[in-house]
Amino acid sequence: MNTHRAPDLTDLRRVWAWKPCPWGGGPADRLAVAWHEAGHAVYARWIGWDMRRVELHADGGDCFPEPIDPEVTHQLEDEDGEIRATAAGLFHAGLAAELLRAKLPWRGPIARPRQTDHHRAETMLAPGFGANTLPGHAYAQLQALHALSAHWDEVAAIAAILQRDGVWSPQAMVA
């Protein structure tokens, strides 16, 4: 797989237009959910936040990250919003994994307003960029596409385990 370009600060200052989701909504079947959740797991590890496990269930999937104590976690200065937008990529990583798996091009920030992941990204981005920030979502989605395309073998391995077992943990990767 070709690695997508990493976003840069000009992506945070660019004028964007929302694009519809190419398949209309959220993941519809177990295979799509497995890839979606694998994307979240790999991106979380890429930004330094380990996952304890990922589970599939009848209504979708859930990721269970390691707890973070905000009282002892050092908060970096983020004048331009790059750190905030990179962190928000976690919530767009499922979408990015689905796009990459389907070999669909990214044509601009994809709006999925009915999806919990979209709302979580919005909640993270809004304090730094304002509500419905197109540049923040664009940067986050580009960063997720970049990270996942660079670690596609890991996404595929986790998705395969999820599809087969319905659950993944880091220990499953060494078994």
- Per-residue pLDDT tens, the chain, 175 aa: give them: 889 999 998 888 888 999 988 876 655 688 999 999 999 999 999 999 989 999 999 888 999 998 877 777 666 778 888 998 999 999 999 999 999 999 999 999 999 888 899 999 999 999 888 888 899 999 999 999 999 999 999 999 999 999 999 999 998 877 5
- Helix 82-102 with 30-46: angle, nearest 10 deg: 150
In a domain, 69, yes or no: no
In a domain, 10, yes or no: no
- What pLDDT does 22 receive? 85
In a domain, 72, yes or no: no
Map residue 112 onto helix, strand or coil: coil
84, two tokens: 């905030």
**Using an 8 Å Cβ cutoff, are 67 and 10 in contact?**
no
In a domain, 131, yes or no: yes
In a domain, 96, yes or no: yes
Distance from C-alpha of 161 to C-alpha of 38, rounded to nearest angstrom = 9
CA neighbours closer than 13 Å in the CB half-sphere of residue 37: 31
Task: State the total domains in the chain.
Answer: 1
Residue range(s) defining the domain that contains residue 88 = 28-55+81-174
In a domain, 6, yes or no: no
In a domain, 114, yes or no: yes
70, two tokens: 């905000």
The model carries a pTM of 0.91
In a domain, 61, yes or no: no
Distance from C-alpha of 71 to C-alpha of 121, rounded to nearest angstrom = 22
